Structure 1
Amino acid sequence: MTKSYSGYRVLLVHAHPDDETINNGATMALYAELGASVTLVTCTRGEEGDILVPELTHLASGATDKLGEHRITELADAMNELGITDHRFLAEGKKVYRDSGMMGTDPNNRPDVFWQADLAEATQYLVSVIDEVKPHVLITYDEIGGYGHPDHIQAHRIAMLAADESIWQIQKIYWNTMPKSVIAESMAKMKELGSDFFGAESVDDLPFAKDDHFVTTLIDGNSQVEKKMAAMKAHVTQISTDGPFFALSNNLGLQVWGDEYYTLVRGDKAEPFDENGRERDIFAGVKL
């Protein structure tokens, strides 16, 4: 991509700090570098996340319950690495939606968690962002939130509802996706090296792995991988530098993180296409 994207605007809706970098870090950095306006809305502060750094385990929800505050700083550091200046939490300054934890766990029942949020109220908070920012493109999760996490599902719900209820009409909506062929290649390589892949035996064991035909759009963000990896490292409590994410990078090459895949669910595919008929630009066909 060589043209300027000044005037183009994209909004990403994610559940927790670090979701944005893992799923869309290269895409975000690429379009920001090319001049587009990139806005991130994060719905919770990730209070129930696992802590991978032993010296920070005192922050856990079962201890001092300060992890959410810490992850605000991690998110800010990650966005600085990606070059994103407009990042905010849902209902910024009005209400804090707490991380719901995994489905069926005790945190799900707390009245302040995102999973228990009043859907209409939460949707209106996002509607206000859409009408302010006026994004041409929206990126969020699919209807199962990728892998069934309640906060991901809720983020999907409010994103889609807000897109319908806002005065501003979003031209294209994408859901994050991860094709089975790419995951299968990664799993095979990791097994050769004697490492597991999130404990899965087969690609069919992974709920976020989608049949390749779901991929309508592939963004080549390989020029942004260093930024993405630096942003991942900024989420220090959540992503271990000796864990599976960085093992993939070391053993498969950085392209495993530079290519980011999407399913277009609203709007029309537009040129340029790759040899497989996939879009190469989320703003293709967008009218300013």
Structure 2
Amino acid sequence: MSSVPEQRILLVHAHPDDETIQNGATMARYVAMGRGVTLVTCTAGEMGEILVPELEHLAAHKDDQLGEHRRDELADAMKELGVTDHRFLGGFGAYRDSGMQWHADGYAIPADDTHTNAFWNADLREAADHLVEVIREVRPQVLVTYDEFGNYGHPDHIQAHRVATYAAALAAVPSYKRELGEVWDIAKIYWCAMSETRFRMMLRRLREDGDTETFEGMDPDGDFGPWVTADADISARVDGTALLDTKLAALARHRSQVEEDGVFFRGAENGQSMFGEEFYRLAKGQQGPVDDHGWETDLFAGL
């Protein structure tokens, strides 16, 4: 019987590829360190935009098989990162990608029509109970998910935040549904963040290189609203630059969702990619030792 790692982290994400974009380097780093890494994905991303022409037949309005395809993409990406414990909330197909549309002010909002099984329509208590069972089984000291805005407003990101927050609270109540496992209180909860300073630097470089399409309409000196986090509000930075190749290899496995020459891969060959650094806001727990920026360099700091 294999031993359980002493330190364990649980990540809760909405769709396949979200985990790699936001936390791929963090996940790979902790796997390499022998820490337990568990990923829970809430939907299979059935409504995702397909960026590969030969896969367009998988779309929801055609064959509606994108979810099955993205399940395989996720499995391949996790092999690249070394993550062996990855699950779908409630089991594969329990909740469907809700889709989204863009608000005139540039953030995501729910689509006008959603599937009856859409995650956005999920019963919060039912969805949280699925996660409570995982929390009590895995017993993580650290949980990572989105902020209350879902980083950019996507309804499934917001719902993942709600489910993770509620489940973490319920899992810590000794008398709550003992049949779901032994009580467990997660010591530290983090929300994924994008450093405002780093985002402005990246956007400025893109504009200087003549790219006006990526993050279209955004000005490097403009107001980004809740898309970014002021550096003063960031609690932790995981330096994954040494694992950038691993992160990008995993991201490339999400082939239906990323362009081979897209923004994520630009500058990787000369160390200029912005995606080797991953930032976090501490939502629960005490901040551990910090660097000169006032940021933790390890999400388990202080534990």
Q: Tell me, yes or no, if structure 1 residue 182 matches structure 2 residue 198.
A: yes
Cα 1:190–1:163 change in 2 (3 A) is same
Residue number among 157, 161, 170 corresponding to 2:166 in the alignment: 161
Alignment check: 8 A CA contact 2:236 2:280 kept: yes
How big is the alpha-carbon RMSD for the aligned residues of Structure 1 and Structure 2? 1.6
Alignment check: 8 A CA contact 2:195 2:234 kept: yes
Q: State the TM-score, normalizing by the size of structure 2.
A: 0.88
Please report how far the alpha carbon of residue 171 of structure 1 lies from its aligned counterpart in structure 2 after TM superposition: 0.3
**Any residues of structure 2 matched to 1:92-107 within 5 Å, and which?**
92=91, 96-102=94-100, 103-107=109-113
State the partner residue of 2:253. Answer: 234
Cα 1:142–1:105 change in 2 (3 A) is same
CA distance in 2, matches of 1:241, 1:208: 24
Q: Deviations over 1:158-186 (max 9, x none)?
A: 00000000020000000000011101000
Please report how far the alpha carbon of residue 206 of structure 1 lies from its aligned counterpart in structure 2 after TM superposition: 6.0
Please report how far the alpha carbon of residue 107 of structure 1 lies from its aligned counterpart in structure 2 after TM superposition: 4.2
CA distance in 2, matches of 1:249, 1:45: 28
CA distance in 2, matches of 1:64, 1:269: 48
Aligned residues: 278
Q: Which runs of 5+ in 1 are unaligned?
A: none
Letter in 2 for 1:121: E
Larger % of helix: which? 1
Report the secondary structure of 1:263's partner residue. strand
CA distance in 1, matches of 2:162, 2:132: 12
State the partner residue of 1:222. Answer: 241
Letter in 2 for 1:281: D
CA distance in 2, matches of 1:218, 1:226: 18
State the partner residue of 1:138. Answer: 143
**Any residues of structure 2 matched to 1:20-35 within 5 Å, and which?**
20-35=19-34
Residue number among 243, 268, 280 corresponding to 2:286 in the alignment: 268
CA distance in 1, matches of 2:96, 2:110: 16
Please report how far the alpha carbon of residue 250 of structure 1 lies from its aligned counterpart in structure 2 after TM superposition: 5.3
Please report how far the alpha carbon of residue 210 of structure 1 lies from its aligned counterpart in structure 2 after TM superposition: 1.7
Please report how far the alpha carbon of residue 248 of structure 1 lies from its aligned counterpart in structure 2 after TM superposition: 5.0
State the partner residue of 1:257. Answer: 275
Alignment check: 8 A CA contact 1:21 1:231 kept: yes
CA distance in 2, matches of 1:63, 1:97: 20
Report the secondary structure of 1:224's partner residue. helix
State the partner residue of 1:83. Answer: 82
Letter in 2 for 1:101: G
Q: Which runs of 5+ in 2 are unaligned?
A: 101-108, 172-182
Report the secondary structure of 1:247's partner residue. coil
Residue number among 138, 151, 160 corresponding to 2:156 in the alignment: 151
CA distance in 2, matches of 1:107, 1:16: 19
CA distance in 1, matches of 2:270, 2:82: 27
Q: Which moved more, 1:146-155 or 1:188-197?
A: 188-197
Q: Tell me, yes or no, if structure 1 residue 280 matches structure 2 residue 279.
A: no
CA distance in 2, matches of 1:107, 1:214: 36
Q: Deviations over 1:238-273 (max 9, x none)?
A: 01111222225357614x1211100011110111x2
Q: Deviations over 1:21-79 (max 9, x none)?
A: 00000000000100000000000000000000000000000100000000000000000
State the partner residue of 2:58. Answer: 59
| % same residue | 50
State the partner residue of 1:15. Answer: 14
Alignment check: 8 A CA contact 2:110 2:155 kept: no
State the partner residue of 1:194. Answer: 210
Q: State the TM-score, normalizing by the size of structure 1.
A: 0.93
Report the secondary structure of 2:34's partner residue. coil
Q: Tell me, yes or no, if structure 1 residue 173 matches structure 2 residue 189.
A: yes
Alignment check: 8 A CA contact 1:14 1:152 kept: yes
Letter in 2 for 1:84: V
Alignment check: 8 A CA contact 1:186 1:248 kept: no
Q: Deviations over 1:218-244 (max 9, x none)?
A: 111122111100001000000111122
